[in-house]
Structure 1
C-alpha cells in the first residue's frame, strides 16, 4: 500500500469513527453564603420550602419520618413517622399538599402541607415495572421523578400517570445515580448519589448545563457526615440551600448564573 493511501485511510477512520471519550462539564466549587444547624440524626432524602417553612424527609426502614424544620435552629417543629415497611424518599409540594415517594414499594403518599396529615396513597409505577422512587420535584406543571438511573420520569399531578421520560447526558454520556431533585428557575438540580457533585440539567433536553462541587463544605461538617443529598429553593427569598445524610449543618449557597 502506498504511504499516501495509508495516511488517507487513517484520516477517514477518524472522520467516520470519532473518539467516544467525552469530558464531563467542569464542576465549579459552590459559593457559601451562610450556614445553619441541621439535625445529624436525619438521613435526608427530600427537602423543600413552602411559604418559608422547611420540610424534610428522612429515610430508613423502621425509622423513616417527615418533619417541619425551623431553619435557624434546625429543630423539628413537627414530625410524622412512616410505617416500618416504607423507606421515605424524595418529596415535592403542589397546591396545598405534597407528595412523598418511598424507595422500592411503588407506593407514594399525599400529605397536607399545613397539618402534615396523610390524605391518600398513589402508585408511582405500573405493577409490571421496577422503577424505584428516589428524588421528586415539581416544575409548576408536572412532577419529575428520579430513580437512581440516568432517566427522569415526568408525571401528571392529577393521577401521577407517566407522561414521558428524558435521559440526562453530559457530553453524550448518560449521567447515572440521579437522586434528590429541585426545580430552580427553569432548570433541574440533582444530587449524584455517593458523590458531592450536583448537576444542573435542562429538563426538556436532559443536557447537563453545569456541575457544582459541594466537597469544600466538608471542612465545615462533622467527620461522620454522609453523602450530599438535599436541595431546596426558598422561593420567598430566592435563596438555595443544601445538606446531606446525617449532616450536622445546612448551607445557603449562591445560585449559579447561566
Structure 2
C-alpha cells in the first residue's frame, strides 16, 4: 500500500469513528457483603417479598398453593397466613398506606388486605398479567414480564406513566419482582440471577446486583427455583434476597449505590 493510500485509510477510519454513535457504558456490578443468612420455608414458591415493621410480608404462588404470609425474619416462622382461592396464582406484593396489594398472575385481579390483620379488603381490576409491584414515592409501580414498568393509581389501579427499561439501549425483558430502594427501582429478571438497578426517570439500568454467588451457596435447588424475592430495609440500609423454594434469605450490605 502506498503512503497516499495509507493516509486515505487512516482518514476514512477517523471519519467513521467520528460519525459513529457513542456506545453507552456498560452498567457495572455492585459489590456487596453477605451479613446474615436467615431461614426460609423451602415450600414457599416466593413471588413477592417486602420488609416492614420488623417483619417480612411474602406472597407465594402456584395454583392451589398461593398464600399471603407475615414472617419472622430471624426464625422464618410464619406468624400469620392467608390462603388464596385455588384459581388464583399469587404474584408480586407491595405495602402502601396500611394496605397490602397482592398481584395475581393471569386472573386480572389485584387482591387487597389490611396489613395489620391480613383481612381481605376487596380487589381491583388489572388489565395485564401481574408479575411484580412496589410502592414508590410516586405511587405503585408494576411489571408484567415485558421491559415496561407502569405506575398506577392506588385507588383504582388504572395505569399512568410508564417507562421502558433498557441496558446499553437494549430492552430488558422479563422484568419480575420489584422493590424501591434509595431512589432506585430494583427489578429482578425472570430466569436470570441478577437484579437491575433502574432509574425511575429514564428506565436506564445504572447497575446490576449479581446473585449467582448466592445461589451457589444452596446446592440441590429444584429446577424452577428462580431468584424472586427482593426486600429493602430503609432504616438499616439492608437488602434481603431469596427465591422460589430457597431454604435461605440472604441479608446483604451493598458497598456503594450508583450516582444519582
Q: CA deviation at 1:28?
A: 3.8
Moved over 3 A (4+): 2-20
1:161, 1:96 → 2: CA distance?
A: 20
1:82, 1:218 → 2: CA distance?
A: 29
The 1:19/1:201 distance shift into structure 2, 3 A limit, reads: closer
Q: CA deviation at 1:158?
A: 2.2
Q: Equivalent residue for 1:128? A: none
1:191, 1:84 → 2: CA distance?
A: 26
Q: CA deviation at 1:82?
A: 0.8
* Counterpart secondary structure, 1:254: strand
1:108, 1:215 → 2: CA distance?
A: 31
Taking structure 1 as the reference length, the TM-score comes to 0.89
Q: Equivalent residue for 1:249? A: 248
Deviations 1:153-201 (A, max 9, x none): 1111221121111001112111111110100011111111111111101
Q: Equivalent residue for 2:61? A: 59
CA RMSD in angstroms comes to 2.0
1:133, 1:157 → 2: CA distance?
A: 15
1:203, 1:141 → 2: CA distance?
A: 10
Asked if structure 1 preserves the Cα contact closer than 8 Å seen for 2:93 and 2:100, the reply is yes
Matched, 1:163 2:160: yes
Q: 1:221 aligns with which of 199, 218, 240?
A: 218
Q: Equivalent residue for 1:97? A: 99
Matched, 1:202 2:199: yes
Q: How does 1:33-182 map to 2 (within 5 A)?
A: 33-125=35-127, 131-182=128-179
Asked if structure 1 preserves the Cα contact closer than 8 Å seen for 2:39 and 2:75, the reply is yes
1:97, 1:47 → 2: CA distance?
A: 15
1:253, 1:169 → 2: CA distance?
A: 25
Asked if structure 1 preserves the Cα contact closer than 8 Å seen for 2:241 and 2:251, the reply is yes
Unaligned runs of 5+ in 2: none
2:219, 2:119 → 1: CA distance?
A: 34
1:86, 1:43 → 2: CA distance?
A: 14
The 1:19/1:184 distance shift into structure 2, 3 A limit, reads: closer
Asked if structure 2 preserves the Cα contact closer than 8 Å seen for 1:52 and 1:236, the reply is no
